Structure 1
Amino acid sequence: MRVPVVRHGTRRRRALVRRLLWTGGETLVTVGVVLLLFVVHQVWWTNREAREGAEREVRALEREWDDSGAERDAEPAPSPTAMEPTAMEPTAIEPRTTDPSASPERPAGADSPRSGSPRPDWSRAYAILTIPRLDLRVPVAEGTSKGGVLNKGYAGHYTGTQQPGQAGNFALAGHRNTHGEPFRYINRLRPKDTIEVETRSAVYTYAVDATLPQTSAGDGGVIRPVPRSAVRPAHGYTDPGYYLTLTTCTPEYTSKYRLVVWGKLISMRPR
Protein backbone atom coordinates (compact mmCIF):
# COMPACT_ATOMS: atom_id res chain seq x y z
CA MET A 1 0.00 0.00 0.00
CA ARG A 2 1.48 3.26 -1.12
CA VAL A 3 1.15 6.31 1.12
CA PRO A 4 0.60 9.53 -0.84
CA VAL A 5 3.32 12.04 -0.27
CA VAL A 6 2.33 15.71 -0.06
CA ARG A 7 5.26 17.80 -1.12
CA HIS A 8 6.01 21.11 0.59
CA GLY A 9 5.85 22.87 -2.76
CA THR A 10 2.28 21.69 -3.29
CA ARG A 11 1.29 22.94 0.14
CA ARG A 12 2.83 26.34 -0.56
CA ARG A 13 0.99 26.62 -3.88
CA ARG A 14 -2.33 25.76 -2.23
CA ALA A 15 -1.70 28.31 0.54
CA LEU A 16 -0.81 30.94 -2.07
CA VAL A 17 -4.01 30.21 -4.01
CA ARG A 18 -6.07 30.53 -0.81
CA ARG A 19 -4.40 33.84 0.05
CA LEU A 20 -5.01 35.18 -3.47
CA LEU A 21 -8.65 34.14 -3.36
CA TRP A 22 -9.08 35.70 0.07
CA THR A 23 -7.36 38.92 -0.98
CA GLY A 24 -9.40 39.07 -4.17
CA GLY A 25 -12.61 38.58 -2.22
CA GLU A 26 -11.69 41.33 0.23
CA THR A 27 -10.85 43.66 -2.66
CA LEU A 28 -14.16 42.99 -4.37
CA VAL A 29 -16.07 43.62 -1.13
CA THR A 30 -14.14 46.86 -0.56
CA VAL A 31 -14.78 48.05 -4.11
CA GLY A 32 -18.47 47.18 -3.74
CA VAL A 33 -18.75 49.16 -0.50
CA VAL A 34 -16.97 52.15 -2.06
CA LEU A 35 -19.28 52.06 -5.09
CA LEU A 36 -22.31 51.79 -2.82
CA LEU A 37 -21.14 54.78 -0.80
CA PHE A 38 -20.54 56.71 -4.03
CA VAL A 39 -24.06 55.95 -5.25
CA VAL A 40 -25.53 56.95 -1.89
CA HIS A 41 -23.54 60.19 -2.01
CA GLN A 42 -24.61 61.02 -5.56
CA VAL A 43 -28.25 60.01 -5.30
CA TRP A 44 -29.08 60.95 -1.71
CA TRP A 45 -26.52 63.29 -0.18
CA THR A 46 -26.04 65.63 -3.15
CA ASN A 47 -29.83 65.92 -3.48
CA ARG A 48 -30.26 66.75 0.18
CA GLU A 49 -27.39 69.23 0.23
CA ALA A 50 -28.44 70.99 -2.99
CA ARG A 51 -32.12 71.18 -2.05
CA GLU A 52 -31.36 72.67 1.34
CA GLY A 53 -29.00 75.21 -0.23
CA ALA A 54 -31.55 76.13 -2.92
CA GLU A 55 -34.29 76.57 -0.32
CA ARG A 56 -32.03 78.86 1.72
CA GLU A 57 -31.28 80.93 -1.37
CA VAL A 58 -34.99 81.28 -2.20
CA ARG A 59 -35.71 82.49 1.34
CA ALA A 60 -32.78 84.90 1.17
CA LEU A 61 -34.03 86.38 -2.10
CA GLU A 62 -37.54 86.78 -0.73
CA ARG A 63 -36.25 88.54 2.41
CA GLU A 64 -34.05 90.81 0.32
CA TRP A 65 -36.87 91.76 -2.01
CA ASP A 66 -39.33 92.27 0.85
CA ASP A 67 -36.84 94.49 2.68
CA SER A 68 -36.17 96.59 -0.41
CA GLY A 69 -39.93 96.87 -0.99
CA ALA A 70 -40.46 98.02 2.59
CA GLU A 71 -37.76 100.65 2.14
CA ARG A 72 -39.47 101.95 -0.99
CA ASP A 73 -42.81 102.09 0.81
CA ALA A 74 -41.24 104.03 3.67
CA GLU A 75 -39.91 106.76 1.37
CA PRO A 76 -42.04 109.94 1.23
CA ALA A 77 -44.14 110.19 -1.91
CA PRO A 78 -43.04 112.94 -4.32
CA SER A 79 -45.24 115.96 -4.77
CA PRO A 80 -47.65 115.84 -7.73
CA THR A 81 -45.66 118.48 -9.57
CA ALA A 82 -42.46 116.48 -9.21
CA MET A 83 -43.84 113.12 -10.27
CA GLU A 84 -42.54 111.55 -13.46
CA PRO A 85 -44.21 108.94 -15.68
CA THR A 86 -43.65 105.43 -14.44
CA ALA A 87 -41.20 103.20 -16.29
CA MET A 88 -43.02 99.97 -15.40
CA GLU A 89 -43.74 97.88 -18.48
CA PRO A 90 -47.48 97.63 -19.13
CA THR A 91 -49.23 94.28 -18.99
CA ALA A 92 -49.94 94.52 -22.71
CA ILE A 93 -46.70 93.30 -24.27
CA GLU A 94 -45.03 95.31 -27.01
CA PRO A 95 -42.37 93.58 -29.12
CA ARG A 96 -38.83 94.96 -28.83
CA THR A 97 -35.92 94.37 -31.11
CA THR A 98 -32.74 92.79 -29.81
CA ASP A 99 -29.51 94.77 -29.99
CA PRO A 100 -27.07 92.51 -31.90
CA SER A 101 -24.11 94.30 -30.33
CA ALA A 102 -25.03 93.21 -26.81
CA SER A 103 -22.34 91.10 -25.16
CA PRO A 104 -23.19 87.46 -24.36
CA GLU A 105 -22.68 88.13 -20.66
CA ARG A 106 -25.21 90.96 -20.70
CA PRO A 107 -28.14 90.01 -22.97
CA ALA A 108 -29.70 92.86 -24.90
CA GLY A 109 -32.23 94.81 -22.89
CA ALA A 110 -31.15 93.38 -19.55
CA ASP A 111 -30.47 96.87 -18.19
CA SER A 112 -33.35 98.60 -19.94
CA PRO A 113 -36.09 100.06 -17.70
CA ARG A 114 -38.63 98.72 -20.20
CA SER A 115 -37.47 95.14 -19.73
CA GLY A 116 -39.31 94.79 -16.43
CA SER A 117 -36.25 92.96 -15.01
CA PRO A 118 -33.65 94.77 -12.92
CA ARG A 119 -29.99 94.29 -13.71
CA PRO A 120 -29.14 90.87 -12.26
CA ASP A 121 -26.32 90.35 -9.80
CA TRP A 122 -24.30 87.98 -11.97
CA SER A 123 -22.46 86.49 -8.99
CA ARG A 124 -25.56 84.93 -7.39
CA ALA A 125 -29.17 83.87 -7.95
CA TYR A 126 -31.37 86.73 -9.14
CA ALA A 127 -34.80 85.14 -9.80
CA ILE A 128 -37.07 82.37 -8.52
CA LEU A 129 -38.61 79.71 -10.78
CA THR A 130 -41.93 78.25 -9.58
CA ILE A 131 -43.72 75.31 -11.22
CA PRO A 132 -46.93 74.57 -9.28
CA ARG A 133 -47.65 71.18 -10.91
CA LEU A 134 -44.25 69.90 -9.76
CA ASP A 135 -44.33 71.66 -6.38
CA LEU A 136 -41.03 73.20 -7.44
CA ARG A 137 -39.53 76.49 -6.31
CA VAL A 138 -35.84 77.03 -7.05
CA PRO A 139 -33.42 79.92 -7.60
CA VAL A 140 -32.30 81.01 -11.05
CA ALA A 141 -28.65 81.99 -11.50
CA GLU A 142 -26.64 83.18 -14.48
CA GLY A 143 -24.77 80.52 -16.46
CA THR A 144 -24.96 76.75 -16.77
CA SER A 145 -21.70 75.68 -15.14
CA LYS A 146 -22.03 72.62 -12.93
CA GLY A 147 -19.93 73.77 -10.00
CA GLY A 148 -21.13 77.37 -9.93
CA VAL A 149 -24.84 76.87 -10.67
CA LEU A 150 -26.37 73.51 -11.56
CA ASN A 151 -24.78 71.43 -8.79
CA LYS A 152 -26.25 73.87 -6.27
CA GLY A 153 -29.73 72.72 -7.27
CA TYR A 154 -30.39 75.97 -9.17
CA ALA A 155 -31.86 76.49 -12.61
CA GLY A 156 -29.14 77.99 -14.79
CA HIS A 157 -29.82 80.75 -17.30
CA TYR A 158 -28.19 80.17 -20.70
CA THR A 159 -25.88 83.16 -21.13
CA GLY A 160 -26.81 85.05 -24.27
CA THR A 161 -30.52 84.23 -24.16
CA GLN A 162 -33.07 86.77 -23.03
CA GLN A 163 -34.09 87.68 -19.48
CA PRO A 164 -37.61 87.16 -18.00
CA GLY A 165 -40.31 89.13 -19.77
CA GLN A 166 -38.16 90.11 -22.73
CA ALA A 167 -38.95 89.39 -26.35
CA GLY A 168 -37.07 86.30 -27.41
CA ASN A 169 -36.22 83.18 -25.46
CA PHE A 170 -35.55 82.99 -21.71
CA ALA A 171 -33.77 79.61 -21.61
CA LEU A 172 -32.90 77.57 -18.50
CA ALA A 173 -31.10 74.32 -17.74
CA GLY A 174 -31.35 72.09 -14.68
CA HIS A 175 -30.24 68.69 -13.43
CA ARG A 176 -32.64 65.81 -13.89
CA ASN A 177 -30.84 63.51 -11.45
CA THR A 178 -28.61 64.23 -8.44
CA HIS A 179 -27.67 67.65 -7.04
CA GLY A 180 -31.24 68.59 -6.21
CA GLU A 181 -32.60 67.33 -9.56
CA PRO A 182 -34.99 70.32 -9.97
CA PHE A 183 -35.96 69.33 -13.53
CA ARG A 184 -36.44 65.62 -12.89
CA TYR A 185 -40.15 65.64 -13.64
CA ILE A 186 -40.51 68.35 -16.28
CA ASN A 187 -41.60 65.57 -18.65
CA ARG A 188 -44.85 65.56 -16.63
CA LEU A 189 -45.71 69.12 -17.64
CA ARG A 190 -48.72 69.48 -19.90
CA PRO A 191 -49.94 72.28 -22.20
CA LYS A 192 -51.38 75.25 -20.26
CA ASP A 193 -49.56 74.33 -17.04
CA THR A 194 -48.23 77.57 -15.58
CA ILE A 195 -44.63 78.44 -14.79
CA GLU A 196 -43.75 81.60 -12.87
CA VAL A 197 -40.48 83.52 -12.89
CA GLU A 198 -40.22 86.03 -10.07
CA THR A 199 -37.68 88.85 -10.04
CA ARG A 200 -37.17 91.76 -7.68
CA SER A 201 -39.66 93.90 -9.58
CA ALA A 202 -42.17 91.59 -11.28
CA VAL A 203 -43.67 88.12 -11.63
CA TYR A 204 -43.84 86.69 -15.15
CA THR A 205 -46.25 83.85 -15.87
CA TYR A 206 -45.63 81.49 -18.77
CA ALA A 207 -47.92 78.71 -19.99
CA VAL A 208 -46.45 75.42 -21.17
CA ASP A 209 -47.01 75.13 -24.91
CA ALA A 210 -44.99 72.17 -26.25
CA THR A 211 -42.50 69.45 -25.33
CA LEU A 212 -39.65 67.95 -27.35
CA PRO A 213 -39.13 64.55 -25.67
CA GLN A 214 -35.64 63.97 -27.04
CA THR A 215 -33.01 65.75 -29.07
CA SER A 216 -29.22 65.75 -29.25
CA ALA A 217 -27.11 67.39 -26.54
CA GLY A 218 -25.76 69.82 -29.15
CA ASP A 219 -29.11 71.01 -30.49
CA GLY A 220 -28.57 74.74 -30.02
CA GLY A 221 -31.68 75.59 -32.02
CA VAL A 222 -33.93 74.94 -29.02
CA ILE A 223 -32.55 77.99 -27.17
CA ARG A 224 -32.46 80.45 -30.07
CA PRO A 225 -34.56 83.65 -29.85
CA VAL A 226 -37.18 81.86 -31.94
CA PRO A 227 -36.69 78.33 -30.61
CA ARG A 228 -36.74 75.55 -33.16
CA SER A 229 -34.89 72.23 -33.06
CA ALA A 230 -32.04 71.99 -35.53
CA VAL A 231 -32.16 68.19 -35.22
CA ARG A 232 -35.93 67.72 -35.40
CA PRO A 233 -37.18 70.80 -37.33
CA ALA A 234 -40.83 69.82 -36.94
CA HIS A 235 -40.51 70.87 -33.28
CA GLY A 236 -40.36 74.56 -32.47
CA TYR A 237 -41.57 77.93 -33.67
CA THR A 238 -41.30 80.19 -36.70
CA ASP A 239 -42.57 83.51 -35.32
CA PRO A 240 -40.96 85.88 -32.81
CA GLY A 241 -42.51 85.87 -29.37
CA TYR A 242 -41.91 85.76 -25.63
CA TYR A 243 -40.68 82.24 -24.93
CA LEU A 244 -39.47 80.20 -21.98
CA THR A 245 -37.33 77.09 -22.54
CA LEU A 246 -36.50 74.42 -19.95
CA THR A 247 -33.84 71.83 -20.82
CA THR A 248 -32.53 68.77 -19.00
CA CYS A 249 -30.88 65.42 -19.68
CA THR A 250 -32.72 62.33 -20.87
CA PRO A 251 -33.07 59.39 -20.34
CA GLU A 252 -32.76 59.58 -16.57
CA TYR A 253 -29.29 58.98 -15.11
CA THR A 254 -27.66 59.68 -18.47
CA SER A 255 -26.60 62.81 -20.34
CA LYS A 256 -26.85 61.41 -23.86
CA TYR A 257 -29.88 63.43 -25.03
CA ARG A 258 -31.86 66.50 -24.02
CA LEU A 259 -35.52 66.92 -23.05
CA VAL A 260 -37.01 70.32 -23.86
CA VAL A 261 -40.16 72.08 -22.62
CA TRP A 262 -41.33 75.36 -24.16
CA GLY A 263 -43.71 77.94 -22.75
CA LYS A 264 -45.10 81.32 -23.80
CA LEU A 265 -45.49 84.47 -21.71
CA ILE A 266 -49.13 85.09 -20.83
CA SER A 267 -48.98 87.77 -18.13
CA MET A 268 -46.82 90.05 -16.04
CA ARG A 269 -47.61 91.74 -12.75
CA PRO A 270 -45.55 94.00 -10.53
CA ARG A 271 -44.16 92.28 -7.48
Structure 2
Amino acid sequence: MVEEHPGYRPRRERRTGRAHRDEAEQPARRDSARASAPAKPRFDVISAFGELLISAGLVVALFAFWQVYVTDWQVANAADKQVAQVEDLFGAVPNRISTDERTSPPPAVSPVSYGQLMGALHVPRWNQMVIPVREGTGHDVLDTGAAGHYPTTALPGEIGNFSVAAHRRSYGSNFRRIDVLREGDPVVMETKDAWLVYHVTRYRIVAPTDGQVVLPVPDQPGVAPTQRLMTMTTCHPEYGNWQRYIVHLELHHWVPRNTGIPKELAEG
Protein backbone atom coordinates (compact mmCIF):
# COMPACT_ATOMS: atom_id res chain seq x y z
CA MET A 1 0.00 0.00 0.00
CA VAL A 2 1.34 3.35 -1.05
CA GLU A 3 1.08 6.19 1.27
CA GLU A 4 -0.10 9.23 -0.44
CA HIS A 5 1.12 12.62 0.57
CA PRO A 6 -1.39 15.34 0.89
CA GLY A 7 -2.00 16.93 -2.52
CA TYR A 8 -0.41 14.08 -4.38
CA ARG A 9 -2.27 12.70 -7.39
CA PRO A 10 -1.19 9.61 -9.27
CA ARG A 11 -0.17 10.29 -12.90
CA ARG A 12 -2.68 9.04 -15.41
CA GLU A 13 -2.05 8.62 -19.06
CA ARG A 14 -4.09 11.12 -21.01
CA ARG A 15 -4.18 12.36 -24.53
CA THR A 16 -3.19 15.96 -25.00
CA GLY A 17 -4.67 18.26 -27.60
CA ARG A 18 -1.48 17.96 -29.68
CA ALA A 19 -1.75 14.19 -29.76
CA HIS A 20 -5.30 14.47 -30.96
CA ARG A 21 -4.20 16.86 -33.64
CA ASP A 22 -1.37 14.55 -34.77
CA GLU A 23 -3.73 11.64 -35.11
CA ALA A 24 -6.22 13.78 -36.97
CA GLU A 25 -3.57 15.11 -39.35
CA GLN A 26 -2.06 11.73 -40.23
CA PRO A 27 -4.68 10.84 -42.90
CA ALA A 28 -4.28 14.32 -44.39
CA ARG A 29 -0.51 13.87 -44.52
CA ARG A 30 -0.88 10.55 -46.24
CA ASP A 31 -3.26 12.10 -48.77
CA SER A 32 -0.81 15.00 -49.31
CA ALA A 33 2.10 12.59 -49.81
CA ARG A 34 0.10 10.63 -52.36
CA ALA A 35 -0.86 13.87 -54.12
CA SER A 36 2.73 15.14 -54.25
CA ALA A 37 4.15 11.88 -55.54
CA PRO A 38 5.10 12.05 -59.26
CA ALA A 39 2.40 10.70 -61.50
CA LYS A 40 3.22 7.79 -63.72
CA PRO A 41 3.98 9.03 -67.27
CA ARG A 42 1.25 8.40 -69.78
CA PHE A 43 1.63 8.25 -73.58
CA ASP A 44 0.25 11.44 -75.13
CA VAL A 45 -0.62 10.92 -78.78
CA ILE A 46 -0.93 14.65 -79.53
CA SER A 47 2.43 15.48 -77.93
CA ALA A 48 4.14 12.62 -79.76
CA PHE A 49 2.67 13.76 -83.07
CA GLY A 50 3.80 17.31 -82.40
CA GLU A 51 7.35 16.14 -81.69
CA LEU A 52 7.33 14.15 -84.93
CA LEU A 53 6.27 17.24 -86.85
CA ILE A 54 9.04 19.30 -85.27
CA SER A 55 11.62 16.63 -86.11
CA ALA A 56 10.33 16.36 -89.67
CA GLY A 57 10.44 20.14 -90.05
CA LEU A 58 14.03 20.19 -88.86
CA VAL A 59 15.00 17.51 -91.37
CA VAL A 60 13.28 19.39 -94.21
CA ALA A 61 15.00 22.65 -93.20
CA LEU A 62 18.42 20.99 -93.12
CA PHE A 63 17.80 19.35 -96.50
CA ALA A 64 16.71 22.68 -98.00
CA PHE A 65 19.85 24.37 -96.65
CA TRP A 66 22.00 21.62 -98.12
CA GLN A 67 20.16 21.70 -101.45
CA VAL A 68 20.32 25.48 -101.85
CA TYR A 69 23.67 26.46 -100.36
CA VAL A 70 25.94 23.47 -99.79
CA THR A 71 25.56 22.26 -103.39
CA ASP A 72 26.61 25.72 -104.60
CA TRP A 73 29.84 25.43 -102.60
CA GLN A 74 30.38 21.88 -103.84
CA VAL A 75 30.35 22.81 -107.54
CA ALA A 76 31.96 26.27 -107.36
CA ASN A 77 35.46 24.98 -108.14
CA ALA A 78 34.15 22.53 -110.72
CA ALA A 79 32.36 25.31 -112.61
CA ASP A 80 35.49 27.49 -112.60
CA LYS A 81 37.52 24.59 -113.96
CA GLN A 82 35.01 24.05 -116.75
CA VAL A 83 35.25 27.71 -117.77
CA ALA A 84 39.04 27.41 -117.82
CA GLN A 85 38.68 24.31 -120.01
CA VAL A 86 36.83 26.39 -122.59
CA GLU A 87 39.93 28.53 -123.15
CA ASP A 88 42.09 25.39 -123.20
CA LEU A 89 39.85 23.92 -125.90
CA PHE A 90 39.39 27.05 -127.99
CA GLY A 91 42.67 28.87 -127.39
CA ALA A 92 43.46 32.23 -125.83
CA VAL A 93 41.69 35.41 -126.93
CA PRO A 94 43.61 38.57 -127.93
CA ASN A 95 43.55 41.03 -125.04
CA ARG A 96 41.71 43.81 -126.82
CA ILE A 97 38.19 44.99 -127.60
CA SER A 98 37.13 43.95 -131.06
CA THR A 99 35.35 46.34 -133.41
CA ASP A 100 34.73 43.58 -135.94
CA GLU A 101 30.96 43.15 -135.51
CA ARG A 102 29.29 41.05 -138.17
CA THR A 103 25.70 40.25 -139.09
CA SER A 104 26.51 37.59 -141.67
CA PRO A 105 25.91 33.91 -140.80
CA PRO A 106 28.33 32.98 -138.00
CA PRO A 107 30.76 30.05 -138.19
CA ALA A 108 29.07 26.68 -137.81
CA VAL A 109 29.44 24.92 -134.48
CA SER A 110 30.27 21.22 -134.52
CA PRO A 111 27.97 19.00 -132.43
CA VAL A 112 29.47 17.37 -129.33
CA SER A 113 28.59 14.23 -127.41
CA TYR A 114 26.31 14.21 -124.40
CA GLY A 115 27.93 15.86 -121.39
CA GLN A 116 30.75 17.45 -123.39
CA LEU A 117 31.63 21.16 -123.25
CA MET A 118 30.37 23.18 -126.20
CA GLY A 119 31.21 26.73 -125.02
CA ALA A 120 30.46 29.29 -122.35
CA LEU A 121 27.64 31.72 -121.73
CA HIS A 122 28.53 35.29 -120.66
CA VAL A 123 25.85 37.46 -119.02
CA PRO A 124 26.97 41.09 -118.52
CA ARG A 125 23.84 41.94 -116.51
CA TRP A 126 24.91 39.33 -113.91
CA ASN A 127 28.22 41.03 -113.10
CA GLN A 128 29.81 39.47 -116.18
CA MET A 129 28.98 35.97 -114.97
CA VAL A 130 30.44 33.14 -117.08
CA ILE A 131 28.63 29.78 -117.23
CA PRO A 132 30.00 26.65 -118.91
CA VAL A 133 27.61 25.08 -121.41
CA ARG A 134 27.44 21.31 -121.91
CA GLU A 135 25.41 19.09 -124.19
CA GLY A 136 22.29 17.68 -122.53
CA THR A 137 19.90 18.74 -119.79
CA GLY A 138 19.98 15.76 -117.43
CA HIS A 139 20.79 16.21 -113.76
CA ASP A 140 24.19 14.62 -114.35
CA VAL A 141 24.97 17.65 -116.56
CA LEU A 142 23.20 20.47 -114.71
CA ASP A 143 24.47 19.32 -111.30
CA THR A 144 28.05 20.00 -112.41
CA GLY A 145 27.40 23.75 -112.28
CA ALA A 146 26.89 24.00 -116.05
CA ALA A 147 24.03 25.10 -118.26
CA GLY A 148 22.76 22.38 -120.56
CA HIS A 149 21.87 22.53 -124.25
CA TYR A 150 18.58 20.89 -125.26
CA PRO A 151 19.85 18.28 -127.76
CA THR A 152 16.79 18.59 -130.03
CA THR A 153 17.25 22.34 -130.53
CA ALA A 154 19.52 24.34 -132.83
CA LEU A 155 23.24 24.67 -132.19
CA PRO A 156 24.63 28.10 -131.23
CA GLY A 157 24.29 30.60 -134.07
CA GLU A 158 22.16 28.34 -136.24
CA ILE A 159 18.79 29.31 -137.71
CA GLY A 160 16.28 27.98 -135.22
CA ASN A 161 16.08 28.12 -131.43
CA PHE A 162 19.30 27.40 -129.55
CA SER A 163 17.90 26.54 -126.10
CA VAL A 164 19.61 26.04 -122.74
CA ALA A 165 18.53 25.16 -119.20
CA ALA A 166 20.21 25.67 -115.83
CA HIS A 167 19.42 25.50 -112.15
CA ARG A 168 18.01 28.63 -110.59
CA ARG A 169 18.88 27.50 -107.06
CA SER A 170 21.40 24.80 -106.09
CA TYR A 171 24.39 23.37 -107.94
CA GLY A 172 25.77 26.75 -108.95
CA SER A 173 22.48 28.68 -109.08
CA ASN A 174 23.50 29.77 -112.57
CA PHE A 175 20.15 31.29 -113.61
CA ARG A 176 19.23 32.63 -110.15
CA ARG A 177 18.98 36.22 -111.41
CA ILE A 178 17.18 35.44 -114.65
CA ASP A 179 14.31 37.72 -113.61
CA VAL A 180 16.50 40.84 -113.82
CA LEU A 181 17.11 40.42 -117.56
CA ARG A 182 15.26 43.03 -119.58
CA GLU A 183 14.51 43.60 -123.25
CA GLY A 184 17.64 44.57 -125.14
CA ASP A 185 20.10 43.07 -122.62
CA PRO A 186 22.98 41.21 -124.30
CA VAL A 187 23.84 37.58 -123.57
CA VAL A 188 26.97 36.28 -125.28
CA MET A 189 27.58 32.68 -126.26
CA GLU A 190 31.28 31.88 -126.71
CA THR A 191 32.08 29.20 -129.28
CA LYS A 192 35.35 27.99 -130.78
CA ASP A 193 35.41 30.65 -133.49
CA ALA A 194 32.99 33.38 -132.44
CA TRP A 195 31.28 35.47 -129.80
CA LEU A 196 27.55 35.24 -130.55
CA VAL A 197 25.82 38.33 -129.15
CA TYR A 198 22.11 37.70 -128.51
CA HIS A 199 19.68 40.37 -127.27
CA VAL A 200 16.71 39.68 -124.99
CA THR A 201 13.39 40.10 -126.82
CA ARG A 202 10.88 38.97 -124.16
CA TYR A 203 10.46 37.00 -120.93
CA ARG A 204 7.53 35.13 -119.41
CA ILE A 205 6.41 32.46 -116.95
CA VAL A 206 4.89 29.19 -118.17
CA ALA A 207 3.87 25.76 -116.90
CA PRO A 208 6.57 23.08 -116.68
CA THR A 209 4.74 21.08 -119.35
CA ASP A 210 4.94 23.89 -121.92
CA GLY A 211 7.59 22.42 -124.19
CA GLN A 212 6.62 24.72 -127.07
CA VAL A 213 8.95 27.41 -125.71
CA VAL A 214 11.94 25.54 -127.18
CA LEU A 215 10.41 24.85 -130.62
CA PRO A 216 12.35 26.19 -133.65
CA VAL A 217 9.77 29.00 -133.65
CA PRO A 218 8.54 29.26 -130.04
CA ASP A 219 4.84 28.46 -129.60
CA GLN A 220 4.41 27.76 -133.32
CA PRO A 221 4.67 24.03 -133.97
CA GLY A 222 5.36 23.03 -137.54
CA VAL A 223 6.53 26.51 -138.61
CA ALA A 224 9.93 26.64 -140.32
CA PRO A 225 12.36 29.03 -138.58
CA THR A 226 13.98 31.96 -140.35
CA GLN A 227 15.74 33.63 -137.39
CA ARG A 228 18.68 32.73 -135.17
CA LEU A 229 17.07 32.56 -131.75
CA MET A 230 18.01 31.53 -128.25
CA THR A 231 15.89 30.52 -125.24
CA MET A 232 16.93 30.32 -121.58
CA THR A 233 14.80 28.20 -119.22
CA THR A 234 14.86 27.64 -115.47
CA CYS A 235 12.60 26.95 -112.50
CA HIS A 236 10.20 29.51 -111.05
CA PRO A 237 9.78 30.84 -108.41
CA GLU A 238 13.33 31.13 -107.16
CA TYR A 239 12.83 28.61 -104.35
CA GLY A 240 10.26 26.46 -106.14
CA ASN A 241 9.81 24.45 -109.32
CA TRP A 242 6.10 24.46 -110.13
CA GLN A 243 6.58 26.94 -113.00
CA ARG A 244 9.25 27.85 -115.53
CA TYR A 245 10.84 31.25 -116.20
CA ILE A 246 11.57 31.74 -119.89
CA VAL A 247 13.76 34.32 -121.63
CA HIS A 248 13.76 34.55 -125.43
CA LEU A 249 16.61 36.18 -127.35
CA GLU A 250 17.61 36.88 -130.94
CA LEU A 251 21.10 36.97 -132.47
CA HIS A 252 22.09 40.61 -132.98
CA HIS A 253 25.64 40.21 -134.30
CA TRP A 254 28.78 38.13 -133.86
CA VAL A 255 32.46 38.86 -133.36
CA PRO A 256 35.32 36.64 -134.60
CA ARG A 257 37.00 35.23 -131.51
CA ASN A 258 40.49 35.76 -132.89
CA THR A 259 39.94 39.52 -133.12
CA GLY A 260 39.45 40.12 -129.40
CA ILE A 261 36.45 40.36 -127.09
CA PRO A 262 33.14 42.08 -127.91
CA LYS A 263 32.48 45.45 -126.35
CA GLU A 264 29.62 43.91 -124.33
CA LEU A 265 32.23 42.07 -122.26
CA ALA A 266 34.74 44.90 -122.01
CA GLU A 267 33.81 45.82 -118.43
CA GLY A 268 34.57 42.28 -117.31
Provide the residue aligned with 1:244 in structure 2: 230
User: What is the SS of the residue equivalent to 2:255?
Assistant: strand
Q: 1:250 touches 1:257 (CA, 8 Å); kept in 2? A: yes
Q: Shift in Å at residue 248 of structure 1? A: 0.9
**Residues 120-269 of structure 1: pairs in structure 2 closer than 5 A:** 120-135=112-127, 136-146=129-139, 148-212=140-204, 214-228=205-219, 240-269=226-255
Q: Shift in Å at residue 13 of structure 1? A: 5.9
Larger Rg: 2
- State the distance in 2 between where 1:28 and 1:216 align: 31
Residues 60/117 of structure 1: CA separation in 2 closer, same or farther (3 Å cut): same
The yes-or-no answer on 1:60 pairing with 2:85 is yes
The yes-or-no answer on 1:93 pairing with 2:84 is no
- State the distance in 1 between where 2:56 and 2:241 align: 25
Residues 185-232 of structure 1, C-alpha deviations (whole Å, 9 max, x = no match): 1111111111011112221110111111x11111111100011279xx
Question: Unaligned stretches of 5+ in structure 2?
Answer: 1-23, 95-100, 258-268
Calculate the TM-score normalised by the size of structure 2.
0.71
- State the distance in 1 between where 2:108 and 2:178 align: 26
- State the distance in 2 between where 1:185 and 1:45 align: 19
> Letter of the aligned partner of 2:136 in structure 1?
G
Q: In percent, how many aligned pairs have the same letter? A: 31
- State the distance in 1 between where 2:189 and 2:245 align: 20
Residues 233-264 of structure 1, C-alpha deviations (whole Å, 9 max, x = no match): xxxx9963110100111112111111110110
Provide the residue aligned with 1:87 in structure 2: none
Q: Shift in Å at residue 54 of structure 1? A: 1.0
Residues 26-50 of structure 1, C-alpha deviations (whole Å, 9 max, x = no match): 8677555544432321121111222
The CA RMSD measured in Å over matched residues stands at 3.4
Matched residues, number: 221
Q: Shift in Å at residue 178 of structure 1? A: 1.4
Residues 11/125 of structure 1: CA separation in 2 closer, same or farther (3 Å cut): farther
Q: 2:107 touches 2:194 (CA, 8 Å); kept in 1? A: no
- State the distance in 1 between where 2:124 and 2:89 align: 23
Residues 44-87 of structure 1, C-alpha deviations (whole Å, 9 max, x = no match): 111122232111110122123227x99xxxxxxxxxxxxxxxxx
- State the distance in 2 between where 1:221 and 1:24 align: 46
- State the distance in 2 between where 1:219 and 1:167 align: 22
Provide the residue aligned with 2:67 in structure 1: 42
> Letter of the aligned partner of 2:238 in structure 1?
E
Residues 79-130 of structure 1, C-alpha deviations (whole Å, 9 max, x = no match): xxxxxxxxxxx94435xxxxxxxxxxxxxxxxxxx85213324332221001
- State the distance in 2 between where 1:144 and 1:181 align: 15
Question: Unaligned stretches of 5+ in structure 1?
Answer: 71-89, 95-113, 231-236
Q: Shift in Å at residue 14 of structure 1? A: 2.2
